[in-house]
Copies of this chain bind each other. A is one copy, B any other.
Amino acid sequence: MDILKSLNWRYATKRMTGKKLPAQDLQTILDAIRLSASSYGLQPYNVIVIESEELRKQLQPLAYGQAQIVESSHVLVFAAWNSVDEAKVDEYLQAYSETTSMPLEKILAFGVKDRMMQAIVGMPQDEQYHWAAKQAFIALGTGIIAAASLEIYATPMEGFLPSKVDELLGLQERNLRSVALLALGYRDSANDFMEKAPKHRWSAEKLFIKI
Task: Give residues in A with beta carbon < 8 Å to B.
Answer: 1-8, 10, 12, 28, 30-37, 39, 41, 43, 46-52, 55, 95-96, 99-101, 119, 130, 133-135, 137-142, 144-146, 149, 156, 158-159, 169, 174, 179, 197-204, 206-211
Contact = CB atoms under 8 A, between A and B. Distances in A.
A209 B171 CA distance: 10
A38 to B, nearest CB: 9
B200 A96 contact: yes
A87 to B, nearest CB: 14
A202 B1 CA distance: 25
Contact of A141 (B36, B50, B197): B36
B4 A49 contact: no
Contact of A200 (B100, B174, B202, B206): B100
Contacts of A33: 207
B1 A210 contact: no
Given A32-B3, A49-B208, A137-B135, A198 B100 contact: yes
Interface-central residue, A8, A31, A134, A140, by most chain B CB under 10 Å: A134
A127 B55 CA distance: 30
Given A95-B206, A100-B198, 17 more contacts: A4-B28, A30-B208, A34-B207, A34-B208, A39-B156, A46-B207, A48-B208, A48-B210, A49-B208, A99-B200, A130-B133, A134-B134, A134-B179, A137-B137, A138-B140, A145-B145, A169-B211
26 contacts: A2-B149, A3-B145, A4-B28, A4-B32, A7-B35, A30-B204, A34-B202, A35-B199, A36-B141, A37-B144, A37-B156, A39-B156, A46-B207, A46-B209, A48-B210, A49-B208, A49-B209, A50-B211, A55-B211, A95-B203, A133-B134, A135-B137, A137-B141, A141-B145, A169-B211, A174-B209
